[in-house]
Structure 1
Amino acid sequence: MTRVLRIRDFRLLWTARAVAGLGTSMLVVAIPAHVYAVTGSVLATGITLAFEYLPSLLLGPFAGAMADRWDRRRLMIATDLVHALAISVTLLATTPETIWLVYVAVLGQGSAAVVFRPASQAHTPAVVGTGPELAGANALSAVTTGVVGLVGPPIGGLLFAFSGIGAVIAASATAGLLSAATIARSSSHRQAPATATRAQPATAVREVLADIRQGLRHVGRAAATRGLLAANSVYLLANAAFTALLIPFGVTQFGGSVQVGYLLSALGLGLLAGAPVSRRLADRDATRATVAASQALVAVAFALLFNSTSLPVALAAAFLLGLPAVTVTVSVFTWVQRTTPEGLLGRVSAAFLTLEAAATMLGAFAGPAVSEAFGMPAALNAACVVTLLSVPLTLWLVPRRPAALEVG
């Protein structure tokens, strides 16, 4: 898996994504905590979370069109710079009357992140090719994203607690600048973008909308991609519900935040252990079976974790959960990168990322809502059922022998 780091441009891209991801994840706890500290309002804090989701839902398709029309390397550099500038606006929000500046900052930072993700996803095959190294690159990226997502929020929370929001913003902005500088050191890789013209604004808008429709038509006509998109969205919905309930479950079931930390550490170790396996599985010509089997194993691990009364059993389940979870992610995105025409890859990647955001937002609200209405055990087991539902969906919607290249 780490062999792919021998490729200089991927090494730079991977480093930039890891640094940028850490800078973004540090804000997850710190920004809402800052809003609550300034306003004392739960509503204001909730609005902050809503603004974090909005860019993914509203800009995802446009981000994909941008990644296919413009130079992806320059686009990633630009979004890193926008991240650093936008999040710095938070420093001006020091009173309840100026808290709206946080919403502007979060919206700008989130928009930059939305544009960055499909550009980096589509740029990876240009850097490493579509052969065996692609699965290794995706496995390493998936593990890095998982680990950064686990350690970033606590780091941001600790920085906020001991040094205030200024230290968190400085660290996050610096991460964005470092990411931009790292990508700038990489080589420029030629791509086949959609035709970009210096047209009038109205014409340019029509061209972008036409690009988006073309991407959606491809997804609609490419049976395997369409099936993976639908089944993976159901899977991610359940996964988001589990994630939202994991901390309350750990605290109530096992006694406190220390035990939750153990669970998160076990999950992170499982992701690390599963990455080499996921790389080999993603290279097999059996994406349909691999994804379905991994989704089923995730459901079993979730059921074992959330129905355990012993911390050692829960830790074992959390570790085992990481193995198939990373395989789902790597297999899906490797398939998309290998089978999507290069000029459409940004838009197709954006479709997956947009539905991922929608499913995550819905699951994050649905899990706690069901828990409040029917109790946490019912919510957790209902999410297990939804996870299992993604298995027959994958087997039903994804062709048994999909074409190697799906041209819509």
Structure 2
Amino acid sequence: MFQALAVRDFRLLWGANLVSGLGSWLLVVAAPAHVLGATGSLLATGLVVAAEYLPFLLLGPVAGVLVDRVDRRVLLIGTDVVRAGAVALMFMAEQAPWIVHVAVLVESVATVVFLPAMQAHVPAVVGTGRMLSSANALLAVVTGTVRLVGGPLGAVLLVVLGFPALVGIDVATYVVSAIAVALTRSRGRPGTAGARPSFRAGLTVLRSYRVVEALLPATGVFLMANAALSALLVPLGVQRFGGETAVGAVLSALGVGFLAGAPLLRVLVDRMPARRLLASAQAGTAVGFAMLVNATWLPQAVAAAVVIGTAGSVVVGAPRTIIQRIVPGSALGRVAAVFGIVEAAATLAGAVLGPVGAQAAGLAVAANGAVLLAAAGVVVTVLVVPSARSTGTPRRTPSHPARPVDGVRGPEGGA
């Protein structure tokens, strides 16, 4: 799993992701909690979450085109600097709590560009062979680590150090991330040979590959179910598992699961066909969901969360590797942005449907509805994702030639 760390530039990118991700997760709990404490308004608190996701829906197409036109290394550095400046605005939140919404909005706008730029740049650093699956497994470790540590640590530091100290830490992590990316040497230009790519052309490339197009509904249904259940996790924890502390334990268990799933992702993504791998991982996640929502005491919920995190890391990581191997590098930013839009839309829809369903039919019914939706995602995957034979073959000629799926040696090592 650690092969990609042999590549110097990837080590720097991986470290940048770890540091900036941890800093961001320190504020996941602290920023809404600060707004709630300062205003007493549930609406104002909820708007913090809205400010985080809205830019993905509105600016995804623009971000995708930008990533495929501009040097991706420069974009990564620039967006880290912008995010550092945005978070720094929160130093004024004591006098003006509304500034948190502005800061989160600007930070999210920069993140809309950062995420597809990073996804498009990683194959340029490690190639598209087996080293790529190692890189994505290691990035999944980052996700698991920050989920495991960030939220609970942020809540503790909020009490011990106060909100301004957390803001300062987050600003520093973005600065460190920008410096780490600046130290890389890998070529960051998309390689469009003077062309000016459009978002519509990117959609044409996406539709040219059946497996990539099929991953949109396959992952979207899962993300909606996951968001619905996540929105119900706090009331579930309070009513069944012992309160807010129990919720923190469940979140930490999810992080443990993500860490456990990373080596599985590294092995399975190179050995199993896309349809079988994704459907199996989604089925495992659905089983974990069912265990969680029907648990009656905390150890059951913690065990369920580990199952969810382990299978969920494969559900999230496998499509990323598949897309990076199939989609031409010159269109990868736009395709990644499309998936970001779908992710944001599905997450918002699930976050609304979960509480609305609980209000209308009760918490147990809504939670088990999320389980059924996750199970439906397995069916969608089986029906729409093609077999391995068509994974890397365009069903009609795209505007850019495809890269081979396996056996490609990248700039600093590949297969």
TM-score, normalising length from structure 1? 0.91
Q: Is the 1:279–1:330 contact (alpha carbons within 8 Å) kept by the matching residues of 2?
A: no
Residue 94 of structure 2 aligns to a residue whose secondary structure is coil
| 1:17 Cα deviation from its structure 2 partner | 0.8
Question: Quick one: which of 286, 296, 312 aligns to 2:273?
Answer: 286
| 8 Å CA contact 2:210, 2:391 repeated in 1 | no
Question: Deviation of residue 75 (structure 1)?
Answer: 0.6
Cα deviation, 1:149-203, whole Å, max 9, x if unaligned, reads 3422232233332332211110111010000011111113254344668xxxxxx
- Normalised TM-score (structure 2): 0.90
- Are residues 40 and 320 of structure 1, via their aligned partners in 2, closer, same or farther at CA, if it must alter by over 3 Å? closer
The 5 A counterparts of 1:268-279 are 268-279=255-266
Give the equivalent residue in structure 1 for 2:403: none
- How far, CA to CA, are the matches of 1:150 and 1:372 in structure 2? 30
CA deviation string 1:229-255 (max 9, x = no partner): 111011100011112222321221121
- Counterpart secondary structure, 1:235: helix
Match of 1:260 among 230, 242, 247: 247
Q: Determine the C-alpha separation between the residues in 2 that align with 1:35 and 1:316.
A: 33
Identity across the alignment (%) = 47
Counterpart Cα distance in 2 of 1:177 and 1:68? 24
Unaligned runs of 5+ in 1: 198-206
Gaps of 5+ in 2: 399-415
Q: Secondary structure at the match of 2:68?
A: helix
5 Å-filtered alignment, 1:112-131, equals 112-131=110-129
2:298 to 298, 307, 311: 311
User: Does the aligned pair in 2 maintain the 1:306–1:380 contact within 8 Å?
Assistant: yes
Give the root-mean-square deviation of aligned CA atoms.
1.9
Task: For residues 98-130 of structure 1, give each alpha carbon's deviation from its aligned partner in whole angstroms, at most 9, with x where no partner exists.
Answer: 444332211111111111111111111111111
- The one-letter code matched in structure 2 to 1:102 is V
Structure 2 match to 1:402: 390
**8 Å contact kept, 1:241–1:367:** yes
Q: Structure 1 pair 349/250, CA: closer, same or farther in 2 (3 Å)?
A: same
2:166 matched residue in structure 1: 168
Measure the CA separation in 2 of the matches of 1:58 and 1:225: 22
Deviations 1:202-251 (A, max 9, x none): xxxxx5xx611111122233211111111101110001111222232122
Task: Flag the 1:358–1:66 CA change in 2: closer, same or farther, 3 A.
Answer: same
Matches within 5 A, 1:39-78: 39-78=39-78
Q: What is the rounded CA distance, in whole Å, between the counterparts of 1:19 and 1:333 in structure 2?
A: 21
Number of the residue aligned with 1:360: 347
Alignment match, 2:405: none
**Structure ranking higher in helix proportion:** 1
1:36–1:42 contact (8 Å) kept in structure 2:
yes
2:200 counterpart of 1:213: yes
Number of corresponding residues: 395
Give runs of aligned pairs for residues 89-168 of structure 1, distance below 5 A: 89-95=89-95, 98-168=96-166
- Runs of 4+ residues deviating >4 angstroms: none
- Tell whether the 8 Å contact from 2:68 to 2:332 is kept in structure 1 after alignment: yes
Counterpart contact for 1:341–1:405, Cα < 8 Å: no
Q: Within 2, Cα distance between the matches of 1:158 and 1:285?
A: 42
Contact 2:206–2:327 (CA<8 Å) still a contact in 1?
no
SS in 2 for 1:69: coil
The 2-side partners of 1:317 and 1:39 are apart by 35
Instruction: Confirm whether residue 373 of structure 1 aligns to residue 360 of structure 2.
Output: yes
Asked whether the 8 Å contact 2:90–2:100 carries over to 1, the reply is: yes
CA contact (8 A) 1:84 1:176 kept: yes
Which residue identity does 2:81 align to in structure 1? L
CA distance in 2, matches of 1:71, 1:322: 34
CA distance in 2, matches of 1:270, 1:178: 28
CA pair 269-9 structure 1, distance change in 2 beyond 3 A = same
Partner of 1:36: 36
